[in-house]
Amino acid sequence: MSKKTIDQLDVRDKKIFIRADFNVPQHDDGSISDDRRIRATIPTIESVLKRGGSVVAASHLGRPEGKGLEAEFSMKVVAQRLRELLAGSASAVHVSSGLPSQSHAEVAALQAGEVLLLENLRFEKGEKKGDEQFANAMAAYADAYCNDAFGASHRNDASMLALPKAMKPKPCVAGFLLAKELKFLGETLENARKPFVAILGGAKVSDKLPALEHMIGKVDSIIVGGAMAYTFLLAQGVAVGASRIEKELIEKAKDILKLAASKGTKILLPVDHHCGQELKADTPKTICVGAIDNGWMGLDIGPASQHLFAAEIAKAKTVIWNGPMGVFEMPPFDAGTWAVANAVIQATKSGATTVAGGGDTAAALEVAGLSACLSHVSTGGGASLEMLEGKKFESLVHLDER
């Protein structure tokens, strides 16, 4: 999946439409709590600006319902952060005053070296519907289209699919972020060096089931942690006390364990558990080895599991990680996740290719300042998981091949 990238375009005196993923988390007061997705697209924007072009940037933010302008979901907060990050690169960063499809005058006034951030794409019903008329309106804005929104590339929204289609025969390319994501979550994993270890965690088996099934037979071992591990342990006949399980998936878990055995993929489950009586930081705590006693719930992997998982990761030449090992937001039940993180970092230092999926895993690594310690940390939660499931993204079809 080798696509042309933004640096291969002549952008001088041209307007480039960059579909970014600026859907960033915010505090209650509306301020940005994590700007990682904005920072990730800065190199793509700067590539255009420094070579004499201008940028029409667009994204969604939050979940407005297409009812027009809503101050709560305005892109103004993102525009302010862009001004700070692009200081010295952009001569100006504007945000459109009206709906994205009604910004022709502001786009026409855009000068080389400037950025116009369109208002929230989801202010218009046509975005989520994949509306061609909405896409056609925006297609007139620019001389080329650039997809740098990996986090939205699994969606067929108008700006992701109908817009590049409407832009043809104008160039349609990948931004640096998208190209990097496709390299690590696509090419690298398809041609993974062995041993290949996958680490899956999080709350629900149902969330990771397609990825689990897709990776069986492709990876050498799958480490399963988080609450999802307890459904698998129960499927093996291990008592799990009051731990969170998905009863309706117990038989499916049995099938997955059998499939893995038949395909030669080893599945590692926790052998001990850091347990509490309630989901509270001050709950009574204990370590349960093997079975979990009645009245206790597994909230993190225990110390023996940490060592077991770390030893498996140490053998790996390729590691893919998606999902925490426990309730990582609540110390001390974050210890298992950090033990796995440290093992993955050590594997990276030993020459392994290490990739962390989006969502909670990426957020935790970012907060801890550890993102740069892995080969790649994805910006896309749902998108990275769908790529691990082997799904093909229709939004990439209309991007020019290298």
Radius of gyration of the chain (CA): 23
Clarify whether 226 is annotated catalytic.
Answer: no
CB atoms near residue 105 (< 10 Å) = 10
Catalytic residue among 298, 302, 359, 381: 359
Residue extents of the structural domains in the chain = 6-178, 192-388
**The predicted structure's pLDDT at residue 79:** 97
Catalytic residue among 3, 19, 37, 155: 37
Clarify whether 30 is annotated catalytic.
Answer: no
Which amino acid appears at position 338 of this protein? Answer: W
Give CATH superfamily name and number for 6-178: Phosphoglycerate kinase, N-terminal domain (3.40.50.1260)
Spatial CB neighbours of 13, under 8 Å, sequence gap ≥ 6: 52, 53, 112
**The predicted structure's pLDDT at residue 381:** 77
pLDDT (tens digit per residue) in 42-76 = 999 999 999 999 999 999 999 999 999 999 999 99
**The predicted structure's pLDDT at residue 172:** 98
Fold classification of 192-388 (topology level): Rossmann fold (3.40.50)
d(CA 399, CA 31): 34
Catalytic residue among 204, 218, 254, 266: 204
Residues of the chain with pLDDT under 70: 1, 358
Question: What sections of 161-204 are H helices per DSSP?
Answer: 163-167, 176-182, 188-190
What single-letter DSSP state applies at residue 396? Answer: G
Clarify whether 126 is annotated catalytic.
Answer: no
Instruction: Answer yes or no: same fold for 6-178 and 192-388.
Output: yes
**The predicted structure's pLDDT at residue 1:** 57
**The predicted structure's pLDDT at residue 360:** 76
Catalytic residue among 98, 130, 186, 382: 382
Clarify whether 276 is annotated catalytic.
Answer: no
**The predicted structure's pLDDT at residue 354:** 95
Beta strands in 21-111 (DSSP E): 54-58, 92-95
Please give the distance of CA 351 from its chain centroid, rounded to a whole number.
23
**The predicted structure's pLDDT at residue 142:** 98
